[in-house]
Structures are given as structure tokens and as C-alpha cells.
Amino acid sequence: MKWVTREHVHVDRTACPWLIKRFVDPKAEFIFVPTERILETAKKENAIPYDVQGIELGHHGEKCSFDAIVEKYKIKDPVILEVAKIVRAADTGKMEAVPEAIGLEAVMSGISIIAKDDYEAVEKAGIVYDALYTRSKMKLIEEKSKSEIWKMDRGQRREFLRKKLLEK
């Protein structure tokens, strides 16, 4: 599938390609164009537009495009739902909602400036979203295993969490 969105990517437009490639279509291709060319490009390239005002996979109320993709493709992974909270808070300026949002917004601002183009920005951002996914998964494991973890020293906790993270 091809996907098209606005050029000059930031939080939502770096998070969505990561989400799509990992949970919707690993062979997805992305096109970045000026806002006024999105619908024309979508039609010409038979691409799915996202993060554009007034479309299905855009912002709706308090939710961002990442949320719209999660909902449309029925992604039920509880870890993704945690990542969605971070992306939403960072992308919609509600930084106080989730502590990680401030850092995500800062990192994506930096990546969007240092990358030579949107494709490189999305590529560089991938490791950040991989790390957020892992940290979010770790938090869920920690919450579920509180009674076991509190008895462990730092090294034991790290190994316990690594083992749990590697389990499918």
C-alpha cells in the first residue's frame, strides 16, 4: 500500500509510518507532499491519505491520526494503546497528560530539522518509537509483576524484565 501525507514531518507523521509498517503493512510506501497536493497525489498514486484535515485517518476531536489508524485497523495491542497516549499528548500539545510527551516532541522537532528529508526523518524516528514501545511494554510488565519485582535487586529486575520482554 502507498500512503500520502503532508511534508515536513513531526510527531504524528513520524509515528504513523512506524505504526503502519509494524502493525498494518510492512511493505508500505510513503509519499510526502505539500498540503494542497495530498488529495491529488492520493488519487494519482492510489495512496491512502493520513494526517490531513477532514479525512478518515486524520485528527478527530482530542485524537490524532495515530489513533485513527489504531482504530481503523483494529490494533488491540495494549502496548500500542500506551504508545498512542504519548503520541497523542505530544502531537496535540497536551504535554501534561503523559510525561514522555515532552521528550517525544523535543526529539521529533530535532529529527525533523537534522534529517535531509522526510524519508530520513521517518527512518531516524523509527528507533525512538521502537524504544517507546519497549518502555511502554516494560511499564505494563512492571505493573503486572509488582509483587515479584519489589523483592529483586537492580540486576535481577533488569534480567527479569529483559526475559519478559523477549517472551511472545
Distance, CA of 135 to CA of 79 (rounded, Å): 9
Domain ranges within the chain, ordered by starting residue: 2-166
Collapsed DSSP state (helix, strand, coil) of residue 142? helix
pLDDT single digits (tens) 43-91: 999 999 999 989 999 999 999 999 999 999 999 999 999 999 999 999 9
Instruction: Copy the grid coordinates of residue 50.
Output: 493520513
Return the pLDDT at 168.
Answer: 64
What pLDDT band is residue 160 in, cutting at 50, 70 and 90?
very high
What pLDDT band is residue 148 in, cutting at 50, 70 and 90?
confident
**What separation in angstroms does the CA of 85 have from each of 4, 25, 143, 156, 166?**
23, 22, 17, 29, 23
State the average pLDDT over residues 117-143.
Answer: 96
pTM to 2 decimals? 0.91
